[in-house]
């Protein structure tokens, strides 16, 4: 059973601080292994990728061409996936596309009051690598959430890598790739896949940015290639904070807490409520639902070890706590959710009202499910079109403009001891 | 003298690729030292900061209070800085503010065709740490470029740290902080300052994000605290690419190349031109100007070791090369700059026309001078207001909406083996 905190208790601040700092990362020290793999792939290219794929995925082929997923395989995968799943993925793609299209930033070029032209021009990243995990955590929804914003941004080339342990690929993942318009797919995973994308090999052209979730090896590899290429965030275990008052249905809230908990034994589900009755009822409902949940072992461990119920006097007192937690997912299951929404400062995504379970956002809501974990919503945002574009700033002065503002640049250049800077302006002004 | 490449030469591609991959990073292995300092400050707080400050900056004080820069010191600094410099900093602040105000993203909340409410809400990062180097590279312009966008974003608290070796602080830096509205300033630097900002001490409250340039220790510390807090980019040595045709004044171009080169012996200045005459004239002009440049030693070494002049047949052939270089700064000193501008794909900032030397953008142009180095303009952008805000996505379904799209979420949850996800939707639909 999850721990219970009361905002009235004298030790509340101490316990809440402890909850905030609870270490949920499983830190595996794989960095030295990853360093060697990266270096080897950088030097030997395809040959190294083939060797690591044989070693780690028990998949032996004679050439990289065989690791590229063929059109026939994609067509076969589509046949294997039930039509209801295809339809659901199509709906998801369409809704994700529509929402993300609104995020596309607009170029801004203008002339300021003294006549200087300034601006910001946005361009898409030219080539993006998309990592998709193999095995159990190989989720088709994750393919859509990463690939669709890249497509909306105008990325010309998306190279997808997905390991196929013992040669097995999840057909749903290939179906999702097809639906998202991704055609360049390699059956490669781990640090060797990240290296191939970052440095390029004889067969795989290098990309400029790598996105997508992965295990400890993938995360360590992404950290190491950062700088050579861009990366998205390094995702930690998932988490949800539900703020609910007495209007909430305890069975629904329990289901939401368990939906998060089933991801991982180190996932975290927290309920904050002003109703002790709801707190008790949710506690009972969680135990009841665990009895029939297929992933009860995982969800039960997460709830027991990292779950928490916090009872506050007044529901508005939940918001400062929520902003300190900076949850990845925040559900506002209260009678007047708009009042609380105005006070949200740090949260990856907010799910409003009784009929918006977080899982809707995981699949078909339209917003992105790649969100900042581990309190990083204090300083970062979920994945969006902005992750696949970059801004070039523009400056254009006439001779008149330079006469007007140039002398100040000369003053500052000299003040900073950068006479060459000063001279590059002064020489144009005959100063 | 810089190397000369000709696009017509048979070995051009090989030499250009070599130029692209030239290693200009001075990699100092300070990571183990930094790790210990971070850990020590995290554990012992103020006491550790005081010890490291005594050790590294030769500044011994008895309490953290003494490391806080007082209002009197700031007032005294303002007296020491010439009025012309103050006026130039004021002009810079005003122009930076005006340009960055246009970057503030707008909230977007809307109802989609089936009635689901979606949205993106932007909020400022609550507290930002601003690192300012001490000693030679202590630039007032850098204080403005980092602090003003944070102010525009609505960041409530900016904590600035700046080392004062032997107790010496650059009064220009304090003046720039005052002009930017930064009032919380600590005379602390190095990894100990980054640790204090990231973890907090008894005196310094922790921040959510750390920005600003620094030496190898600061860069290593920022890499290590990334995740606990956000960081801006890790800046490499500066670089400029000038594309010029026969219309360009060779003395002006030479001054621009040297302005970049005087930053650092590993800075890089490249000229691409379709005019062999201009190439020759610039070469001569560089040698001439080096004779009177105060930082000739640095600029000369940079030009000799990393400078390059590339002669192409046609000026438009410069653009594919430019996009491969992905320069931090790109000057278009050509007769018809707009034609080339349309083809810019990867560049931090573009300076258009004969009267826009890059140094104008360093100081008073209004755009930011913190820009992506080392080819990272392929996937990242210069510092902007977006670095100081984060987006929360919003989703709100009615019971009707959930009936319409919920079943697809149930299908996908089950398809992914996440029955708890499926249940959290199904339970609301009585499925």
Looking up tokens 């899982």 gives A359
> What is the spatial distance between Cα A304 and Cα A3, in angstroms, rounded to a whole number?
7
B100 is an active site residue:
no
Nearest-CB residue to A411 (from B84, B256, B406) = B84
User: Do residues A356 and B400 make contact, with C-beta atoms less than 8 angstroms apart?
Assistant: no
User: Which of B126, B365, B395 lies nearest to residue A365, judging by beta carbons?
Assistant: B395
| Chain-centre distance for alpha carbon B313 | 34
> For residue B382, which phi and psi values (nearest 5 degrees)?
-65, 170
Q: CB-based contact (8 Å) between B160 and chain A?
A: no
- As a residue count, chain A comes to 431
Q: How far is B171 from chain A (nearest CA, A)?
A: 11
Residue of B nearest to A373 (CA): B227
Please report, for residues A157, A159, A305, A386, A403, the alpha-carbon distance to residue A126 in angstroms, rounded to integers and kept in the order given: 7, 11, 44, 14, 39
Residues from chain B contacting residue A118 (CB–CB below 8 Å): 99, 365-367
Closest CA to B59 of B138, B139, B162: B162
Residue B235 has pLDDT above 90, yes or no: no
CB B238 within 8 A of CB B264: yes
B404 is in an annotated binding site: no
A104 touches chain B (CB under 8 A): no
CB within 8 Å: B365 and A92? no
- Looking from the CA of B208 toward its CB, the CA atoms found within 13 Å total 25
Rounded to a whole number of angstroms, the distance between the first and last alpha carbons of chain A is 77
Please compute the mean of the pLDDT values over residues B206-227 and round it to a whole number: 93
Contacts of A209 in chain B (CB under 8 A): 378-379
| pLDDT, tens only, A268-293 | 999 999 999 999 999 999 999 999 99
Q: Quote the CA–CA distance of B303 and B266 in Å, as a whole number.
A: 9
Spell out which residues of chain A touch residue B293, defining contact as CB-CB under 8 Å.
419-420, 423
Which residues in chain B have Cβ-Cβ distances shorter than 8 Å to A264?
none
CB B358 within 8 A of CB B240: yes
pLDDT band at A248 (very low <50, low <70, confident <90, very high): very high
For the segment A174-194, the average pLDDT, to the nearest whole number, is 98
According to CATH, what is the number of the domain A3-23+241-365?
A: 3.40.50.1980
| C-alpha distance from B175 to closest chain A C-alpha (Å) | 12
Q: pLDDT band at residue B136, thresholds of 50, 70 and 90?
A: low
Same fold, A3-23+241-365 and A31-231: yes
Specify the CATH number for A31-231; select among 3.40.50.1980, 2.60.40.10, 3.30.70.141, 1.10.3470.10.
Answer: 3.40.50.1980
Active site residue B328: yes
Say whether B300 sits in a helix, a strand or coil. helix
Percent of chain A with pLDDT over 70: 99
Q: Report the pLDDT averaged over residues B218-228.
A: 91
The mean of the pLDDT values for chain A is 96
Token reading at A94: 């369409």
| A28 has pLDDT over 90 | no
- Return the residue of A nearest to B411 by Cα: A85
Among B295, B353, B392, the residue with its CB nearest the CB of A396 is B353
Per-residue pLDDT, A209: 98
Mean pLDDT, rounded, for B312-321: 97
Q: What is the mean pLDDT of residues B357-376?
A: 97
Q: How many residue pairs bridge chain A and chain B with CB atoms within 8 Å of each other?
A: 374
Query: Any CB–CB contact under 8 A between B404 and chain A?
Result: no
What is the pLDDT, as a whole number, of residue B103? 97
pLDDT > 70? residue A112: yes
* Residues of B with Cβ-Cβ distance to A220 under 8 angstroms: none
Under the banding of pLDDT at 50, 70 and 90, the label for residue A25 is low
With CA atoms as reference, report the closest residue to B21 among B392, B381, B326, B362.
Answer: B326
Q: Which of B99, B100, B178, B329 is catalytic?
A: B329
Q: Where are the alpha helices (DSSP H) in B200-317?
A: 216-225, 250-261, 276-290, 296-306
Nearest CA distance, B64 vs chain A (angstrom): 25
Which pLDDT belongs to residue A22?
80
pLDDT of residue A136: 67
Q: Is the pLDDT of residue B319 over 70?
A: yes
Contact B258 A416 (CB under 8 A): no
CB contact at 8 A, B33 and B194: no
Mean pLDDT of A95-122: 97
Beta carbons of B133 and B215 less than 8 angstroms apart: yes
Reduce the secondary structure of chain A to three states and give it as a string. CCEEEECCCCCHHHHHHHHHCCCCCCCCCCHHHHHHHHHHHHHHCHHHHHHHHHHHHCCCCCCHHHHECCHHHHHHHHHHCCHHHHHHHHHHHHHHHHHHHCCCCCCEEEECCCCCEEEEEEEECCEEEEECCCHHHCCHHHHHHHHHHHHHHCCCEEEEECCCHHHCCCHHHHHHHHHHCCCEEECCCHHHHHHHHHHCCCCCCCCCEEECCCCHHHHHHHHHHECCEEECCCCCCCEEEEEECCCCCHHHHHHHHHHHHCCCCCCEEEEEECCHHHHHHHHHHHHHHHCCCCCHHHHHHHHHHHCEEEECCCHHHHHHHHHHHCCCEEEEECCCHHHHHCCCCCCCEEEECCCCCHHHHHHCCCCCCCCCCCCHHHCCCCCCHHHHEEEEEEEECCHHHHHHHHHHHHHHHHHCCCHHHHHHHHHHHCC
Q: Which helix (H) or strand (E) holds B98?
A: helix B83-101
CATH superfamily label, B3-23+236-365: Nitrogenase molybdenum iron protein domain (3.40.50.1980)
Q: Domain locations in chain A? A: 3-23+241-365, 31-231, 397-429
- In the predicted model, what is the mean pLDDT of residues A110-115? 98
A227/B392 Cβ within 8 A: no
Q: Does B406 touch chain A (CB under 8 A)?
A: yes
**Residue A23: per-residue pLDDT:** 74
The alpha-carbon gap from B58 to the nearest alpha carbon of chain A, in Å, equals 24
B168-207 residues touching A, CB cutoff 8 A: 172
pLDDT over 90 at A362, yes or no: yes
Q: Is B353 on the interface with A (CB under 8 A)?
A: yes
**In angstroms, what separates the C-alpha of B24 from chain A's closest C-alpha?**
13
Active-site residue (options: A262, A265, A328, A331): A328
The strand pairing partners of A118, in sequence order, are A110, A395
The alpha carbon of B215 is separated from its chain's Cα centroid by a whole number of angstroms, namely 14
Q: Where are the beta strands (DSSP E) in B17-124?
A: 108-111, 117-124
- Determine contact, residues A197/A204, Cβ cutoff 8 Å: yes
Looking at residue B234, its pLDDT comes to: 80
Q: Which one of A347, A356, A411 has the shortest CB-CB distance to B397?
A: A356
Mean pLDDT over residues B247-251, rounded? 98
Residue A89 has pLDDT above 70, yes or no: yes
Predicted confidence band at A24 (pLDDT cuts at 50, 70, 90)? confident
Q: List CB contacts (< 8 A) between B398 and chain A.
A: 353, 355
pLDDT for position B233: 83
CB contact under 8 A, A417 and B140: no
- Specify the residue for token string 């529509």: A98
Reported as a single tens digit per residue, the pLDDT across B291-309 is 999 999 999 999 999 999 9
Structure tokens belonging to residue A417:
């001891």
Of the residues A329, A331, A358, A369, only one is catalytic, namely: A329
**Cα(A197)–Cα(A200) distance, integer angstroms:** 5
């Amino acid at each position: 059973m999850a721990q219970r905190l009361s905002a009235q208790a004298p030790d509340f601040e101490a316990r809440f601080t402890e909850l905030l700092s609870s270490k949920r990362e499983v830190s595996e020290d794989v960095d030295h292994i990853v360093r060697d793999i990266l270096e080897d792939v950088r030097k030997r290219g395809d040959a190294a990728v083939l060797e690591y794929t044989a070693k780690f995925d028990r998949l032996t082929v004679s050439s990289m061409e065989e690791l590229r997923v063929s059109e026939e395989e994609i067509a076969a995968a589509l046949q294997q996936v039930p039509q209801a799943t295809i339809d659901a993925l199509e709906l998801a793609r369409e809704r994700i596309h529509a929402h993300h299209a609104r995020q596309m930033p607009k170029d801004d070029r203008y002339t300021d009051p003294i006549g200087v032209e300034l601006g910001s021009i946005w361009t898409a990243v030219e080539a993006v690598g998309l990592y998709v995990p193999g095995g159990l955590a190989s989720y088709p929804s994750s393919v859509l959430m990463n690939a669709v914003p890249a497509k909306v941004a105008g990325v010309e080339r998306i190279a997808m890598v997905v390991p196929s342990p013992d040669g097995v690929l999840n057909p749903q993942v290939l179906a999702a790739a097809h639906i998202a318009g991704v055609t360049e797919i390699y059956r490669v995973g781990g640090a060797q896949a990240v290296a191939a994308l970052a440095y390029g090999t004889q067969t795989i052209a290098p990309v400029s940015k790598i996105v997508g979730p992965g295990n400890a090896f993938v995360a360590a590899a992404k950290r190491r290639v950062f700088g050579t290429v861009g990366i998205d965030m390094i995702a930690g275990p998932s988490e949800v904070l539900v703020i609910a008052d007495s209007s909430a249905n305890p069975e629904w809230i329990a289901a939401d807490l368990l939906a998060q908990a089933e991801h991982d034994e180190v996932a975290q589900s927290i309920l904050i409520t002003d109703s002790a009755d709801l707190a008790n009822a949710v506690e009972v409902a969680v135990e009841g639902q665990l009895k029939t949940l297929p992933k009860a072992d995982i969800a039960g461990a997460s709830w027991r070890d990292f779950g928490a119920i916090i009872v506050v006097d007044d529901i508005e007192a939940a918001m400062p706590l929520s902003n300190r937690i900076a949850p990845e997912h925040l559900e506002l299951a209260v009678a007047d959710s708009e009042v609380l929404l105005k006070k949200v400062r740090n949260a990856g995504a907010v799910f409003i009202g009784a009929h918006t379970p977080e899982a809707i956002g995981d699949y078909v809501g339209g917003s992105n499910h790649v969100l900042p974990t581990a309190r990083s919503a204090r300083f970062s945002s979920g994945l969006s079109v902005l992750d696949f574009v970059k801004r070039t700033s523009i400056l254009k002065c006439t001779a008149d403009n330079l006469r007007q503002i140039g002398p100040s640049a000369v003053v500052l250049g000299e003040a900073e001891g950068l006479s060459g800077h000063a001279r590059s302006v002064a020489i144009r002004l005959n100063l």
